[in-house]
Chain A
Amino acid sequence: MNKLSIFTKGFFKENAVFTLLLGMCPTLGVTSSAINGLGMGLATTFVLIMSNIVVSLVKDSIPDKVRIPAFIVIIASFVTVVELLMQAYLPALFESLGLFIPLIVVNCIVLGRAEAFASKNNVFSSFLDGAGMGLGFAMALTMLGAIREFLGSGKMFDLVIFPEQYGMLVFVLAPGAFIALGYLIAVINKLKKA
């Protein structure tokens, strides 16, 4: 596999949300607006890149039997770093993402990439893999957030497109997340076959 395809596979071919259906909890939970989706996606990207780099650096010195707890400690540390930084410098975003930031720890994409990719590949490939997977995840969350925000409240990235009272409230609530995600996956599958 060449370096470019390691990076690009996360966007389409192995997109975490649309193809692997991983990380559904933050996907459905935080995407009530495009900016929330983007924020969550970028936070996850940071954790993915950093944990992939560190895991691939230390992979040889970690005994096999304790590799999962070791990975989790590494991931959890970076998540806490993100949480503290966000709380300090982006308090508004932190408030709307709230509970979901600590939950990045248990996002299966992060542990999945550490286990499946970073523990077997060198640092540079792991970095590319983390960046590709993370940005693909961020892209998916932003798309979903933008669609839900547009249909639900008539806005996109807080820009008013049509008055809020004509919005379909259900798209801002949880059921709308499932509906929007379902249609989005259907469209992506169709495109993939074409």
Chain B
Amino acid sequence: MAKTESTLVNMVLTLLIITVVAGASLGMVYKVTKEPIAMAKLAKQQKAIEEVVPGFDNNPTDEMYQLTSKEGYALQVFPCKKGDELLGVAIATKTDKGFSGEIKIMVGLKPDGTIINYSVLEHKETPGLGSKMNDWFRGDNPKQSLINRDPSNTKMIVSKDGGDIDAITAATISSRAFLDAIMIAYTAYKENADAQSAKSTIQKGAKS
């Protein structure tokens, strides 16, 4: 077959055909992979929720609601219940104060705000330094661990800044950001809970 001449009509036609074929085939692949991609994301989220608030038997994703933090982040809150009892909430929180980019964390809080556990979903911190946060804040050292801490009676800032938590060695910025993300979740949850209980007291008052 002879080489096609570089005339305007030929060029426009060739590019048109190529882009149409490419677009159509990509659309097809997108359709096929859409479901598995959504499933994979959901499975990851589910796993993180199970890690931070163990032992629930409802489907937290169905009961998910959103809270807006002071910083304007939309936080997803997943209530975890066993029977009718609220075991705690898993909150997907984030911060942009990290050493490099956003840090996304799933944190589990008991209804009174005590931290149950956490799981780092996404971060771009330095490997070997900031990336240790996934284990550091669960360590045996009581000044490191966040597990079972109640932020209302703990200074949730790193000890360098006068707080109660030891920062990761050589990764103070990542540690600050980590605590920031946890506190964003805690504050938003607490404020919402306070507002709710205030509301219900008013309603009760009106009834009586």
Contact = CB atoms under 8 A, between A and B. Distances in A.
Interface of A: 32, 58, 60-66, 69-70, 73-74, 76-77, 80-81, 84-85, 87-89, 91, 95, 152-153, 167, 169, 172-173
Interface string B28-64: 0110010011001100100000000000000000000
B152 interface: no
Given A70-B15, A73-B22, A64 B3 contact: yes
Contact of B22 (A64, A77, A91): A77
B201 interface: no
Contacts of B126: 173
B44 A91 contact: yes
B206 interface: no
B11 A80 contact: no
A55 B37 CA distance: 29
B25 interface: yes
Nearest to A164: B128
B22 to A, nearest CB: 4
B4 A81 contact: no
A50 B11 CA distance: 23
A60 B26 contact: no
A83 to B, nearest CB: 9
Nearest to B28: A81
A169 B128 contact: yes
Contact of A173 (B5, B6, B7, B127): B127
Given A89-B36, A152-B128, 6 more contacts: A60-B3, A62-B4, A63-B3, A81-B25, A81-B26, A84-B33
A69 B127 CA distance: 38
A112 to B, nearest CB: 20
A66 B129 CA distance: 48
Contact of B33 (A58, A87, A169, A173): A87
B33 A85 contact: yes
A74 B40 contact: no
A167 B127 CA distance: 12
